Structure 1
């Protein structure tokens, strides 16, 4: 059963009660008493649940291991997170979800409250009565940071959810019923996920434990749980798929457990579910450490406070409330992952499937690195410096366990998804920015060892300087990403005084030039030193079947953010470069029937819905025309990010799409993700204040700012004229006052001089 896509549910902070048909569910009283500084009220988790946003909806805390939320019965690409706003069905409330990925997985440890005769299969869209699936109305659904509530129409049950880092907290309000049930379904998952081995056991009259091993995108995922109930367990049955078994414990592939009991009208049943990658004992210990009591409202308030703490690191001033909603929702989306993948005592499961006890760092997972290295990870170096070392240490641990840095790491598994070794610029960026909480020698060993392998076309990179198009699919995208990564290694080698490696990797950093066809002026697949792949169309994009990754030659021709000066030279100088760049935004052509759904948010052939385009609008200042960046950036901010459910123009990609918005709306962007420079664009807000480390902050003011006054006329930093069209990370962290004077016409002289332009390597 589906409903049409609707606009965002603007019920973030309703009155203290939400009236369900035939049932009143009390909301936490704190929601009426939020301090004036609260920013969670501006977050609308439903933004991105429409179109192809694929965002998570449910209860969690920043970077938490638990993402507790509803899962629809529907399957498919737009249900990668388990939820899409077009759907009105729920098959359970599951404790792990992905947010903004292009592949579906997780959906572990599913709980579903029901009434009436027990049904242990979820049912189907065509025959819902055959299973336990329920419909719901979006008008009786609430989501805000750390809290989710909904009414299950079929059962007249009110569900409220909240979470700590490693514990999901359920509150079910039942109607009067001679038989109420809670179904624990260890078979169900999302997307590619399928169970391999599952188990459940009743420990006592209030505790159930179990585990779920599954295979999918994460080939060998293992999760343990312990569930503690506020209502004594009197009847507990176990099922192998749909067949009831004797006893109160079972190990099989599709295990399910059902608690049954009588309830009075409005009776509340609470469940605390701790999860662990290591053991059921650790899952219980997580509950004892993080959620020892039963105060649901207090837990909601604590989750809200945790979100507020992070959101308050950036305070913006604007007369338009909708812009606050878009901004703080974007910032919220950047804080969902990478997610915690260890227990409260520090234990975690390594990529090698060994348990590493009491680690000295917080181990993390859900590393969508091909996406996030571009803006999300640089954003963390500003807003989450205390977490950067944990991210790097997690990556270095993965390197020690699997012999290379992660590509796309998920729940202790290397998925090898996407192209390049995109952990490298993240590690290098942290090192070059002076982070000290990891072993720098090990970090360099890791980046170099990752780059010197022979798989995934690297044997050709080392031998030829390019990857022949007939040897590996997506050879151009792969080779261009490698060049970005290798350039980063060169900068790390240089700072470490390793001249030989600096020269070697600098040369590899220019390998992007080997894909540039001087006849067509596009990056394209080559077969040999003298032969290009034919036929060739810069518009065509065949998903996973050609030389590009989710894109075409128009988009990939600009993928050299590590050496924009070199790219300008390839195009024949500044004027030809500008002319070609201008043409990107007006070019029209057919990408073909097999083009990826990820290619969205088109302006000509610029595709904002996918990451290879994200830096392109910020290239103009390198050629002395920053005002063109302002034009393009303001258009994207206004048209591709809204406060509607389809308000993200493409796949959220685990925070990258939102990180672009956060950076760009503040007025700058890390075009080169590992050289510590941020290129100015066009600040969206009249004022913004960023809280930095060590008690410092930088206040940014845009005078005379409006939808028409989009062009920077001049800039001052701490009262002194600042003529550069970029700012360094080091200068940003000093804090102070950055003032932009805005106007409705370009100042053609601002940022024009060579010494004022951004650079790849400091002259």
Structure 2
């Protein structure tokens, strides 16, 4: 059944999402290496910065190959090592694959392969890397981490070269965030194995993951789907090295453990982490333990560590993914410590909470622990006061969702009093509902309302959303939201208007549709909660077709560490986690013709019966021959295996 070796990987195109500017495209680079690797090798066509990656398909010349750890276009780099060319060369061809790439430029050929901590390049260019010293350490970074809190940070490198004959040579570079000795050991292993061994080892790893899922679909769908799977298996990065040690940036020390980092949690809690719980359950416990270890050693759970606290983004998404993992039955991490961690983030404001200039872009103190900014006001008022903390509406909505997740975690642990306390707090979003405006609006400390249309960037109330689209950002309590909007008929009318008039507009930062930002990834599935299943199917199918392509632009917005692709994969399979910590998925309409997924309980076979070629509406869905009682399915049902049969009309 699983004969994927050549087939699925052949559909992966790392060039998808690599051409464009800012937020209008995928923001990706053609990364070569291994799944969840600590680094990847990338052709360098432009200087890296926050908001700009090392590579862009718009560029005509390459000036080197960079060992990169940058997790996303809007999060910078830490410890990159550039293997430079003697001069920029005109690109003739790039043949990119996850496990190996070949670049032809200026008449030379460069074959690239990488492990988690080393690269090998084989070339006929006699001057490749001559400007890179044979060894050294770099503290270079463009990420938003304060180096004052990372005094022991440094990326050691070791370069070794070897002639191959007939004018060809091998350049091997090992890197380590722990020691020069580790870097040298990695370099020597890469030198000995070369591109052949590194690429075959990487191919085996990619194949092992790709063999877990097989789909039948149109070729273009396969290309987007499997490239999305490649994107979804890049992050988070596992920093632990061959000695079992990793650099812990949250406390500037060296620790034993898996050491996953580069979690873009605000983006990835919605669909990337739910996807990993299905396809990569063997990694989930280590990832969760890595989050717990950040709390243990740094004092707080992170939002977007890279590799230390960055202060970037908002909410409390670590609470969501930890709760989700436990609710779904993962028991290989310290759950009691995890619960203590989510309680601290939820109940204890930062000492300078009322003084800090909180900002989803890092604020005034880069590297400060990423906790719930404005929590003081949230605890005392039931909402984040806008005249005290910017982005107050989005923060309040995100904290309400996180509180539901804490309640779900508490329920699974049998902590009844905490469950009740946080379920009550999860309704705090109602405190910002302005009935006359039909929207969530900012409020000041004294309770007065603020007109968001009169705010500017520095006084903004929303993050990657606005007054209109923020209305839907309550995935954990749709029933109450329906009531606030005046009932199911009014709710449906507003959803219809949103999709027909607002969803596909280019926004102010360049996203080509609302889908380009993660805040509204769940909205199409809200129709299910009012029984309008056909509209969920229609809206999801439209997004799959209109917001994704196999072109070099790729998506309507940035990939964001697999968040965009994971939405596509799950929705193409026919289900999506409206509220991840609930442990349930909403049923949509599959885009694939069939799928076979290796799960904990065996194999989940997704079969699709179409009444016509263009059928898109789910009229029946059965699990092991029995009709589902609702348009919802639990995680335990999915991973138990069997047959999930859809009938589309």
Q: Which residue of 1 aligns with 2:146?
A: 219
Q: Which residue of 2 aligns with 1:422?
A: 317
1:612 to 498, 507, 519: 519
Q: Which residue of 2 aligns with 1:312?
A: 211
2:49/2:142 contact within 8 Å kept: no
Q: Which residue of 1 aligns with 2:484?
A: 570
Distance in structure 1 (CA, Å) of the matches to 2:305 and 2:46:
26
Could you give the per-residue CA deviations for residues 342-367 of structure 1, whole angstroms, max 9, x where no partner exists?
2112111112454434x2x4211111
2:129 to 158, 174, 182: 182
1:541/1:548 contact within 8 Å kept: no
Please tell me whether residue 531 in structure 1 is matched to residue 430 in structure 2.
no
Which 5+ residue runs of structure 1 have no aligned equivalent? 1-33, 115-131, 186-199, 201-207, 233-262, 744-763
Displacement of 1:484? 0.6
Higher-RCO chain (CA-CA 8 Å, sequence separation at least 6): 2
2:50/2:73 contact within 8 Å kept: no
Could you give the per-residue CA deviations for residues 193-246 of structure 1, whole angstroms, max 9, x where no partner exists?
xxxxxxx6xxxxxxx3211113432333634334342438xxxxxxxxxxxxxx
Displacement of 1:90? 1.9
1:274 to 161, 164, 174: 174
Displacement of 1:333? 0.5
Q: Which residue of 1 aligns with 2:298?
A: 402
Please tell me whether residue 56 in structure 1 is matched to residue 7 in structure 2.
no
621-630 or 299-308, larger mean C-alpha shift: 299-308
Taking the TM superposition and a 5 Å limit, the aligned residue runs for 1:58-137 are 58-73=31-46, 79=52, 81-106=53-78, 108-114=80-86, 132-137=87-92
Displacement of 1:697? 1.1
Q: Which residue of 2 aligns with 1:28?
A: none
Displacement of 1:76? 6.4
Taking the TM superposition and a 5 Å limit, the aligned residue runs for 1:221-236 are 222-231=153-162
2:111/2:195 contact within 8 Å kept: no
Distance in structure 1 (CA, Å) of the matches to 2:282 and 2:503:
46
In structure 1, the residue corresponding to 2:582 is in which secondary structure? coil
Q: Which residue of 1 aligns with 2:411?
A: 494
Please tell me whether residue 349 in structure 1 is matched to residue 247 in structure 2.
yes
In structure 2, the residue corresponding to 1:585 is in which secondary structure? helix
Please tell me whether residue 518 in structure 1 is matched to residue 435 in structure 2.
yes
Distance in structure 2 (CA, Å) of the matches to 1:305 and 1:632:
38
TM-score by structure 1 length?
0.77
Please tell me whether residue 43 in structure 1 is matched to residue 49 in structure 2.
no
In structure 1, the residue corresponding to 2:541 is in which secondary structure? helix
Could you give the per-residue CA deviations for residues 598-654 of structure 1, whole angstroms, max 9, x where no partner exists?
5x242xxxx000010101000111101111011011011111111110121101001
1:50/1:646 contact within 8 Å kept: yes
Taking the TM superposition and a 5 Å limit, the aligned residue runs for 1:368-407 are 368-407=264-303
Distance in structure 1 (CA, Å) of the matches to 2:502 and 2:406:
37
Displacement of 1:465? 0.4
Q: Which residue of 2 aligns with 1:460?
A: 377
Could you give the per-residue CA deviations for residues 7-26 of structure 1, whole angstroms, max 9, x where no partner exists?
xxxxxxxxxxxxxxxxxxxx
Displacement of 1:742? 0.7
Please identify the structure whose Cα radius of gyration is greater.
Answer: 1
In structure 2, the residue corresponding to 1:171 is in which secondary structure? strand
2:391/2:462 contact within 8 Å kept: yes
Q: Which residue of 2 aligns with 1:283?
A: 183
Cα gap change, 1:564/1:105 in structure 2, threshold over 3 Å: closer, same or farther? same
Cα gap change, 1:77/1:400 in structure 2, threshold over 3 Å: closer, same or farther? closer
Distance in structure 2 (CA, Å) of the matches to 1:39 and 1:307:
10
Displacement of 1:401? 1.8
Cα gap change, 1:499/1:294 in structure 2, threshold over 3 Å: closer, same or farther? closer
Distance in structure 1 (CA, Å) of the matches to 2:254 and 2:119:
24
- The structure where helix makes up a greater share of residues is 2
Please tell me whether residue 163 in structure 1 is matched to residue 59 in structure 2.
no
Taking the TM superposition and a 5 Å limit, the aligned residue runs for 1:302-341 are 302-318=201-217, 320-341=218-239
Distance in structure 2 (CA, Å) of the matches to 1:729 and 1:330:
21
Distance in structure 2 (CA, Å) of the matches to 1:542 and 1:333:
35
Aligned residues: CA RMSD: 2.4
Which 5+ residue runs of structure 2 have no aligned equivalent? 354-372
Displacement of 1:542? 5.2
Please tell me whether residue 443 in structure 1 is matched to residue 343 in structure 2.
no
Q: Which residue of 2 aligns with 1:658?
A: 565
Distance in structure 1 (CA, Å) of the matches to 2:579 and 2:504:
30
Could you give the per-residue CA deviations for residues 554-608 of structure 1, whole angstroms, max 9, x where no partner exists?
111111111111111111211111111112113359999xx6425x242xxxx00
Distance in structure 1 (CA, Å) of the matches to 2:611 and 2:190:
47
Q: Which residue of 2 aligns with 1:431?
A: 326
Could you give the per-residue CA deviations for residues 274-302 of structure 1, whole angstroms, max 9, x where no partner exists?
211111112223456x6472342232222
TM-score by structure 2 length?
0.90
Distance in structure 1 (CA, Å) of the matches to 2:508 and 2:37:
31
In structure 2, the residue corresponding to 1:468 is in which secondary structure? coil
2:640 to 730, 734, 746: 734
Distance in structure 2 (CA, Å) of the matches to 1:147 and 1:596:
38
Could you give the per-residue CA deviations for residues 153-198 of structure 1, whole angstroms, max 9, x where no partner exists?
1xx33211101121111112236xxxx352345xxxxxxxxxxxxx
678-687 or 492-501, larger mean C-alpha shift: 492-501
Cα gap change, 1:502/1:723 in structure 2, threshold over 3 Å: closer, same or farther? closer
Distance in structure 2 (CA, Å) of the matches to 1:562 and 1:61:
35
Please tell me whether residue 630 in structure 1 is matched to residue 537 in structure 2.
yes
Cα gap change, 1:402/1:544 in structure 2, threshold over 3 Å: closer, same or farther? farther
Displacement of 1:526? 1.2
Cα gap change, 1:231/1:495 in structure 2, threshold over 3 Å: closer, same or farther? closer
